[in-house]
C-alpha cells in the first residue's frame, strides 16, 4: 500500500551535507502493523512527517520517491491529498494535541464535517457518538460536552484516536502514542489500536523507542539509527539468536528484565551522532559498535532486497 524508495532528507541550512534520513526504503502492506524503533533523535518522527508531506525548511527532501497505492510521488507537496483521507496521525501528548477551547463534541463534529461537507448537524452528532463508542469511551453523550482538560490522558488519547478515525483512514501513523500514559492505560490504548487494525483492517505505523512494546504489537520492525535503517526484522525474529545487526542486539539488550539487578542494566556506550558527508564511506554505528573492524570505517554496508541488515559482520 505504501512504498518509500531511497528517501533522503537533509538539513538545508548546514554548510556540509547533514542527513536526517538517509536512503530509507520500506514498505507497508494492507492491514500490516509496522514498527519503527530507534533511540531519541534517530529520525522516527521526521520519517513519519515526511510520509505525510509535513516537513518544512530547514528539513528538505533531496532524494527518493513515495509510492501510495501505485501512485508515485517525488514531490512532498503531492502528499497533502492523502492527509486525513488516507493517513491519520496520533501523537505522544494527546492533551496538548487537542484544542483546549473546543468541546470534544465540537472537535469531532467539525472534523467529520470537514471530511464530508454534506453532513448535517444531527448526522454529525450521531457519527461523533458512534466514534466515541467505537473507541470505548463511557457515557459518550456526557463526554460530547467535556473539554480536554476534564479528561484523563488515556481518555484524551481515545478521543485522538476517534478524531483519527473520523476521516475513515486506511493508515494510522501513531508516534509514541502511549509514552505519556501510565502502564495500565498504555495497555488499553494498545488493545484499542489492535482492535481497529483487526476489525477495520487499518494499517498502522507504530513509532516507539520501546522495542519490547513493538515486538508484542507489530508484524515487522524497522530499526533506525542516525537516520539510516540498520535492520528490517520480523517481530518473531527479534529473539536474541535471530537478530543480525549489532545495533538491534544492543537495543534489545537495553530492555530491562523483571529480575535484572540494577548492576546488570545494559546501555549502549556513546551517543547517537549526526550523519554527515563524512560518513559516506563508513558504517554509521561504527564508533559505538563493539564488533567494528577496519572495513566498517571504509565501506558503508549495504541494505537491499537481498539483505535486511546493514552490517559487514552480522551476528
Ligand atoms: N525542524 C527541524 N530542524 C532541524 N533539525 C531537526 C528538525 N526536526 C528534527 N530535527 C533533527 O532530526 C533528527 C531526528 O529527529 P526526530 O524528531 O525525527 O527524532 P525521533 O527519533 O523522533 O526522536 P524522539 O524519540 O526523541 O522523538 C534529530 O537530530 C533532530 O534534532
Ligand atoms: S558494519 Fe561493522 S561497525 Fe557497523 S554494525 Fe556491523 S560490525 Fe558494527
Ligand atoms: Mg519523535
In Å, what is the CA distance from 130 to each residue of 88, 109, 124, 134, 200? 18, 11, 10, 6, 15
More confident of the two residues 304 and 278? 278
Assess whether the C-beta atom of 58 lies below 6 angstroms from ligand 1.
Answer: yes
Q: How many A from CA of 281 to the centre of ligand 3?
A: 27
Give, for ligand 2, the residue of 228, 269, 296, 299 to mutate: max count of ligand atoms closer than 8 Å to Cβ.
Answer: 296
More confident of the two residues 315 and 259? 315
- At 36 the pLDDT is 97
pTM comes to: 0.94
Assess whether the C-beta atom of 296 lies below 6 angstroms from ligand 2.
Answer: yes
In Å, what is the CA distance from 118 to each residue of 123, 127, 128? 10, 13, 15
User: What residues have their beta carbon closer than 5 A to ion ligand 3?
Assistant: 44-45
Closest CA to 83 of 200, 177, 197, 167: 167
Q: How many A from CA of 138 to the centre of ligand 1?
A: 37
Q: How many A from CA of 45 to the centre of ligand 3?
A: 4
- At 125 the pLDDT is 97
pLDDT tens-place string over residues 28-60: 999 999 999 999 999 999 999 999 999 999 999
C-alpha cell of residue 222 = 524497522
Q: How many A from CA of 225 to the centre of ligand 3?
A: 13
Q: Whole-angstrom Cα distance, residue 82 to residue 75? A: 13
Query: Which residue in this structure is represented by grid cell 456526557?
Result: 142
Q: Whole-angstrom Cα distance, residue 302 to residue 305? A: 10
Q: How many A from CA of 43 to the centre of ligand 1?
A: 6
Select 1-86+177-182+203-315's CATH number: 3.90.1330.10, 3.40.640.10, 3.10.180.10, 3.40.50.300: 3.40.50.300
Decide: 105 and 144 in contact? Cβ < 8 Å: yes
- At 182 the pLDDT is 85
Assess whether the C-beta atom of 42 lies below 6 angstroms from ligand 1.
Answer: yes
Going by pLDDT thresholds of 50, 70 and 90, the confidence category of residue 264 is low
Amino acid at each position: 500500500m505504501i512504498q518509500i524508495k531511497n528517501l533522503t532528507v537533509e538539513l538545508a541550512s548546514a554548510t556540509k551535507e547533514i542527513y536526517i534520513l538517509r536512503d530509507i526504503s520500506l514498505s507497508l502492506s494492507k492491514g500490516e502493523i509496522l514498527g519503527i524503533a530507534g533511540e531519541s533523535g534517530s529520525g522516527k518522527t521526521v520519517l513519519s512527517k515526511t510520509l505525510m508531506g509535513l516537513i518544512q525548511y530547514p528539513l528538505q527532501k533531496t532524494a527518493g520517491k513515495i509510492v501510495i497505492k501505485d501512485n508515485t510521488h517525488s514531490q512532498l507537496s503531492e502528499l497533502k491529498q492523502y492527509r486525513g483521507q488516507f493517513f491519520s496521525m496520533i501523537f505522544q501528548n494527546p492533551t496538548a494535541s487537542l484544542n483546549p477551547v473546543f468541546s470534544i463534541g465540537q472537535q469531532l463534529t467539525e472534523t467529520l464535517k470537514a471530511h464530508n461537507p454534506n453532513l448535517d448537524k444531527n448526522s454529525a452528532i450521531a457519527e461523533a457518538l458512534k466514534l466515541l463508542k467505537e473507541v470505548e469511551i463511557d457515557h459518550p453523550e456526557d463526554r460530547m460536552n467535556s473539554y480536554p482538560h476534564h479528561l484523563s490522558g488515556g481518555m484524551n488519547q481515545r478521543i485522538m484516536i476517534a478524531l483519527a478515525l473520523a476521516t475513515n483512514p486506511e493508515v494510522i501513523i501513531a508516534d509514541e502514542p502511549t509514552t505519556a500514559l501510565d502502564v495500565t492505560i498504555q495497555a488499553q490504548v494498545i488493545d484499542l489500536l489492535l482492535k481497529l487494525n483487526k476489525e477495520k483492517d487499518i494499517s498502522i505505523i507504530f513509532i516507539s523507542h520501546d522495542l519490547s512494546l513493538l515486538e508484542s504489537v507489530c508484524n515487522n520492525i524497522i530499526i533506525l539509527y542516525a537516520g539510516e535503517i540498520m535492520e528490517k526484522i520480523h517481530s518473531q525474529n527479534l529473539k536474541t539468536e535471530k537478530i543480525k545487526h549489532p545495533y538491534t542486539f544492543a537495543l534489545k539488550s537495553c530492555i530491562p528484565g523483571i529480575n535484572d539487578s540494577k548492576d546488570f542494566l545494559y546501555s549502549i556506550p556513546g551517543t547517537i551522532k549526526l550523519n554527515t558527508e563524512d560518513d559516506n564511506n563508513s558504517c554509521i554505528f561504527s564508533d559505538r559498535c563493539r564488533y567494528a573492524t577496519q572495513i566498517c570505517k571504509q565501506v558503508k554496508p549495504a541494505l537491499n532486497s537481498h539483505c535486511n541488515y546493514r552490517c559487514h559482520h552480522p551476528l
